[in-house]
Structure 1
């Protein structure tokens, strides 16, 4: 089973709770005013009966103590991009179906990650919770329909594996409306014809279903038996790559942060070269001790895949933000990606990064041949000689 469905738990509300710790134990509703509707609600509010698309006045009757917040789509989009970028670190086969949901195809990645898909996905969930600050639910199966169904089985912070062999036991006893994408009108139509449970459709004569419901009857029969031959639509071009680290203890010292950022820059540049990519924009990401996210970026004079260029551009940005510390996370991003053939050519002002690129590629060769320890040892020897 290699197809996964990732669903962020109470996405909008979870982001607000992440950024405002005073909301941690309060019911939160995101939506319009008194005459508006509920966009989403946290699980504390849902326990009172609040649901998405419910009129706000009705939601407040059910949960009068709820904190109502206006939507912040710019913030949600930013976090959604962070989640997708994290998923893309596992596989290029990512199909985002909404701002907070995506399918992943992990076929052929076991050798790369040296772990089975279930283990890789468990690490993904932990990373998203630790570094982005929200939780996800995961469904793992052999196709998109079963993966989506599985991700809804154990929310929030769920991980459910659903095989086709489990379908008779898990799905057949349930009402037809449990099937993803089946609405009340369809449920009523099938109920009139005597089909109330998923198993009723799964075991029905296909020809009879087609005669009664046309193509819908055939589709329902396939879903009821756990069949789905749709492939992932993953043709969107990757727009950025990033690397970041979360500290065990908050750090506010510039020199210490700069040393960490230099290591991240070296890593990010190497990733760019491995993928034959270069970027036009470099971004700095910081997360303060109060969980406030700070993102700053600078556009370069030409695309680059050298760590030196990225770090020279980003150092002033870190200096400008150091007063907002201490920080619990620091990261570096490379955006507006292009093919490496466009990288580090130089300009009319004499800026030429080609020598730096040649040097860093030479270091890549040493890493590949001798491993990281050789360069680490030489650095330590250099520091000792300085003393």
Structure 2
């Protein structure tokens, strides 16, 4: 299947050029890449039947399946689909390969998620040629290096580049040039602007605002008085204004893990075992990335889908598995379980600034925590995640 050429090219009048790369059906595409027998089939990536769809191939989308859809509904719409649980480590590996390719095209690459990134390619035309040539070369480089296809949007500002990358999916290249921004916005549905959800669309329809062009009919004062800061930002976007720059390094603001159960439960011991398993995963990732956080948050979702969060801020930042677990378990003990629990999760946020350096004198417990965590991390790095398991969750992890 040949790479597509641009379907909509606008003439340049401005030097700024932001590029947004969005991998096509990323998780499902990786599965089809690794397992050729899945190619051309409706592949649906997700957890158990009680979970949600993480991603799906374009073959599955023809049946109405989409990401974040409950898995039971996806099975109803596409009973002959190929359902796979997902391999996050493999997707992370593929993501790193993609980002390495993007680094060849610009020193300013901002990874927005596992399957998308922004590049500031202003001035790179001198090296790679005009925008359409640059975009095509980038798509081809990603395909050759990873076997995966992506869609590319190019525009003077970030939010328009993101919108453009979705215009011709899959395998698309859509370029919005500065002198045609207003023409593009005049017909752009207001729902396409990031941050405008279904409820906002309903509110705006009261004022007969259905496109970004419609939004320009109202004054800045109207947007400020009616909708506050959100209104001011929407008014800017409707006029093609986005002051955000491409930031090279993406700094995580939190680290977390959560699980949806096959069966709802109010067994506190079982919930604690889940928390311990999650605390190990979160702690390990924090230590790997040299992060410590002061705020531990417990998340619960009941069987009526009501979600609650409870947080506690510690005196000192931590990445110790024991501290994360004990804090989350204490929050759980303080919570009256009004009904059975469907999902539980724990996260650590409020990261401390700078690298994690050990104090000259540590409390004995902290030294034990650090020694144990580092030993377990080293063993698992060498022999795999299940090479060493705490006794409390040994049987539990084997079942899960």
Which of 137, 147, 151 in structure 2 is aligned with 1:137?
A: 151
Alignment of 1:230-249 (within 5 A): 230-235=244-249
SS where residue 103 of structure 1 aligns? strand
- Could you tell me which runs of 5 or more consecutive residues in structure 2 were left unpaired when the two chains were aligned: 1-15, 252-400
Report whether the alignment pairs 1:156 with 2:140.
Answer: no
Q: 1:225 to 1:164 in 2, by over 3 A?
A: farther
Matches of 1:114 and 1:131, distance apart in 2: 18
Residue 112 of structure 2 is matched in structure 1 by 97
Report whether the alignment pairs 1:175 with 2:208.
Answer: no
Residue 87 of structure 2 is matched in structure 1 by 72
SS where residue 187 of structure 2 aligns? coil
SS where residue 126 of structure 1 aligns? helix
Task: State how many pairs are aligned.
Answer: 236
Which of 5, 9, 14 in structure 1 is aligned with 2:29?
A: 14
Segment of structure 1 superposing worse, 127-136 or 188-197: 188-197
| Maintained 8 Å contact 2:45/2:86 | yes
Matches of 1:236 and 1:45, distance apart in 2: 32
Q: CA deviation at 1:236?
A: 6.1
Alignment of 1:245-284 (within 5 A): none
Matches of 1:67 and 1:44, distance apart in 2: 11
Q: 1:121 to 1:173 in 2, by over 3 A?
A: closer
Normalized against structure 1, the TM-score is what? 0.58
Q: 1:114 to 1:197 in 2, by over 3 A?
A: closer
Q: CA deviation at 1:171?
A: 3.2
Residue 48 of structure 2 is matched in structure 1 by 33
Residue 218 of structure 1 is matched in structure 2 by 232
Matches of 1:158 and 1:103, distance apart in 2: 16
Alignment of 1:1-387 (within 5 A): 1-111=16-126, 113-235=127-249
Segment of structure 1 superposing worse, 5-14 or 116-125: 116-125
- Could you tell me which runs of 5 or more consecutive residues in structure 1 were left unpaired when the two chains were aligned: 238-387
Matches of 2:176 and 2:94, distance apart in 1: 28
Matches of 1:231 and 1:153, distance apart in 2: 22
| Maintained 8 Å contact 1:164/1:226 | no
Matches of 1:22 and 1:131, distance apart in 2: 21
Greater C-alpha Rg: 1
Q: CA deviation at 1:217?
A: 1.6
Matches of 1:8 and 1:199, distance apart in 2: 29
Normalized against structure 2, the TM-score is what? 0.56
Q: 1:11 to 1:206 in 2, by over 3 A?
A: same
| Maintained 8 Å contact 1:11/1:100 | yes
SS where residue 147 of structure 1 aligns? helix
Q: CA deviation at 1:180?
A: 2.0
User: 1:228-258, CA deviations, whole angstroms, 9 ceiling, x for partnerless residues?
Assistant: 1111111469xxxxxxxxxxxxxxxxxxxxx
User: 1:166-213, CA deviations, whole angstroms, 9 ceiling, x for partnerless residues?
Assistant: 344333334321212321222222223442332211222221121111
Matches of 1:201 and 1:230, distance apart in 2: 21
Residue 309 of structure 1 is matched in structure 2 by none
Matches of 1:198 and 1:149, distance apart in 2: 13
- Larger proportion of helix: 1
Q: CA deviation at 1:36?
A: 1.3
Displacement over 6 Å in runs of 4+: none
